[in-house]
Amino acid sequence: MKLIFDEKALVDLEGIYNWIAKDNATAARAVVERLFASTEHLAAFPQMGRVGRDERTFEWVVPRLPYIVIYEVHAGRDAVIVTAVVHGAQDRDAED
């Protein structure tokens, strides 16, 4: 399957980078690179996440990082689409 990051997910990653880079640009780069590298596993194993808050989505906790990748599986398009990347401590109810 193809792995696609939609615009919101890319904005989320940019925000993560900017937040961490305020203190340490090297660490920010490493975290974002790790998020991209880890998320690549979803292309081969799209069902490895759990069903998300929205039943059309899946959520996958990135190992050894406090981030959750929210994604959709589109079998007809042969694609996994990452729709958001959030911090595990983030209040997602406030965004709904």
Its pTM stands at 0.89
In order of 2, 7, 21, 65, 80, the CA distances from 16 in angstroms are 24, 14, 8, 12, 21
R_g of the chain, CA atoms, integer Å: 13
At the topology level of CATH, where does 2-89 sit?
Answer: YaeB-like fold (3.30.2310)
pLDDT digits (tens, 9 = 90+) for 24-37: 999 999 999 999 99
Instruction: Give the Cα separation of 7 and 54 in Å (integer).
Output: 19
Q: What is the pLDDT of residues 79-92, one digit of tens each?
A: 999 999 999 877 66
Using CA atoms, how far residue 85 sits from 2, 21, 61, 76, in Å, is 18, 17, 10, 24
Helix (H) / strand (E) element for 47: namely: none
Token digits of residue 21:
């880079």
Where do the structural domains in the chain lie, given as residue ranges? Answer: 2-89
Mean pLDDT of the chain: 92
